[in-house]
A and B are shown apart, each in its own frame.
Chain A
Amino acid sequence: MTAVKKLGLPLGILLILAWCLLPVVWIISLSLKSEESITAGNPGFLPAEGTFVGWENYEKVLTDPLYDYFPRAILNSIGISLIATLLSVIVATLAAYAIARLEFRGKRLVLSISLAIAMFPVVSLVGPLFDMWRAFGIYDTWPGLIIPYMSFTLPLAIWTLSAFFREIPWELEQAAQVDGATSWQAFRKVIVPLAAPGVFTAAILTFFFAWNDFVFGISLTSTEAARPIPASLAFFVGSDPFNRPASLLAAAAVLATIPIIVIVLIFQRKIVAGLTSGAVKG
């Protein structure tokens, strides 16, 4: 029993690591196989002998003019996701402050709306949205994606932020004012540092949502002008239009994953806190 116990934990850790990383290693391995060998069939986890091509696929995806829609998609995704995140967090901060700090009529309604939207099936909206967007002339543009991303990330952001704001000891602000600070100073020196982690977490989760979105991405765009990474990956074409270039696609997928891994590496504590805050305390 004790032996099992002692071994159980490291074994569990290994299992978790394998579970999480195996598909990631797999797609990296795939991205290192040669394009021709994929066409011919190259089963196996690691590149078969003679089919390892190093960074060639990455180079192609990033620099070959044949794939210049992909760097463009990266640009679109980064731009759209960042703008949507920034705006969404600003709007959500205002709302979350009101919800956490103020008593006002309609508060429950706001919470209900945001809860309803959090579970809204996005597919049921793309038809009418497509219709509206073409009437407004923002179909296939950045704003055409930024607006829905903002709307759909607001519930999560408001939720996370109001949970954070509720934890902030707001009396400190008054205490600082009593100590002679102006209200702006009190806000900036006392409240901002306390609220910042929450805002940050909300921003990361919002960014993840926008980065991951697929339904809006394929339905509300039709060219490179605004097509984000997930849609671009789904329409990925190589030199041979009849064979999906698996290894190039894998390279592109790895590139699309790098920002996520960087964010996770830097902010893992904050994300964990954000994901779990407010959701379970009862």
Chain B
Amino acid sequence: MSTALLAACGAEGKPELHWYVNPDGVDTFETYADTCSTDEYDISVEQLPSSATDQRVQLARRLAAEDSSTDLMNLDPVFVAEFANAGWLAEVPEETAEEIMGSVEGQGSYLAGAAETVIWDDTVYALPQWANTQVLWYRKSLAEAAGLDMTQPVTWQQIIDAAATEGGSVGVQANRYEGYVVWLNALIQGAGGEIVGNTEAGRDAEVELDSDAGRAAAGVVQALADSDAAQPDLSVSNEGTVLGPMWTDPGEFMVNWTFVYATYRDTVGQPGGPADEQAFEDLGWARYPATVEGEESRPPIGGIHIGVGAYSDHPDHAAEAAACVTSTQAQVDLALNNGLMPSTEEAYEEVADSGEFPEDLIDLYRTSVDTGGPRPKSAFYPLISNAVQDQWHSPASVDPDRTPQRSADFLRAVLSGEELL
């Protein structure tokens, strides 16, 4: 089959594999498109928009059109279930698939938290390339002034109070977009709940928003929105807008992805970055805040997986290329160049050994990925996400007595196709 295809392509030269990438780390992706091109095929990079929602729409439209030129694609973990369910993703070759399956049980080279998110219906549909997670970033001086002991797990209420009394702020992602769901999901899971359970049931999944966990999460959102610690642009905040306030005294507590460290390190002395090395030294990190005191937090899990399009003309080449661009070396380069952390134990070791990142930070990332909570794995995830955004935005409108219940009713209606979004 593939030889026949090759022969067909031979007349027009080497086949070209199209690799759709998300914009973070594009320079490294370009390098690997070159490195992983072989005598048999070339890889060309196509850039996707920056928001997860737009990335999904662009990819899904091509795949729905059974486009044979969508060979490789960068997938946000939450796309996997929907795309796999629609039959748009090729299965991962058996050997690698077993490795990934084993990793979920802690017996393989991948971090369990990352491996978990490429599996749908007991089948592996993508290769984890890099694993993302959020931690609590803060100014040591701010925590100290507020008398917070950061060696112990802190709660949301604590950091909100601490920031408010010291005139600082708390940075979160609360624009009406996917990032807001990341935060809400972490808050709900941190209180021992879920947005939806039994997600394999698709439209019949159990909506669990109307629970103590849902109310606890709503309580945190409300507490922040009502507090002086809320940033003025809270309702339109994203991963980028919250970066700035860190270096305006007295600074902030901020939950954000792993790219933050490299970003601040590289912007010392520039506008928006720490004023000097000494200021940069004031940057602290700790485990994601707990929703409920005494209960361990569940940090968000993100990252990028590489999927192979089901309609690709060159499935074998694409599978080979996918393995190449997720190699240990590729993962290490992404971490060192772009601050995007690896998804395998081996790559993590190498990154730790490089000395580019503080050791305790690397450890924090790793435990966060392994103990973190993914967003619901559902073929109808976009509906779920959008329904939650619709009901929980803006943060100032969230009320623990009403929002969880109302949003649960709404989500049920949306899932069953009885209500518009």
Contact = CB atoms under 8 A, between A and B. Distances in A.
Contacts of B65: 134, 139-140
A140 B62 contact: yes
A237 interface: yes
B22 A241 contact: yes
B243 interface: yes
Q: How large is the interface on A (under 10, 10 to 19, 20 to 34, 35 or more residues)?
A: 20 to 34
Nearest to B24: A241
Contacts of A41: 244, 272
13 contacts: A36-B270, A37-B272, A39-B272, A69-B47, A139-B65, A140-B65, A223-B58, A223-B62, A224-B47, A235-B50, A240-B240, A242-B238, A242-B259
A75 to B, nearest CB: 16
Contacts of B59: 222
Given A223-B46, A237-B49, A241-B50, A39 B240 contact: yes
Given A140-B62, A242-B240, A243-B240, A36 B267 contact: yes
A168 interface: no
B390 interface: no
B16 to A, nearest CB: 13
B78 to A, nearest CB: 17
Q: How large is the interface on B (under 10, 10 to 19, 20 to 34, 35 or more residues)?
A: 20 to 34
A39 B239 CA distance: 12
Q: State the majority secondary structure of interface residues on B.
A: loop
Contacts of B58: 222-223
Contact of A237 (B50, B61, B62, B271): B50
B105 to A, nearest CB: 34
Nearest to B238: A242
Nearest to B55: A235
Interface in A248-268: none
A41 B232 CA distance: 13
Contacts of A51: 271
A240 to B, nearest CB: 6
List of 6 A-B pairs having minimum Cβ-Cβ separation, nearest first? A243-B240, A242-B240, A40-B272, A134-B65, A235-B49, A242-B239
Best-buried of B23, B64, B243 by chain A (most CB within 10 Å): B23
B54 interface: yes
A34 interface: yes
A200 interface: no
Contacts of A140: 62, 65
Interface string B247-270: 000000000000100010001001
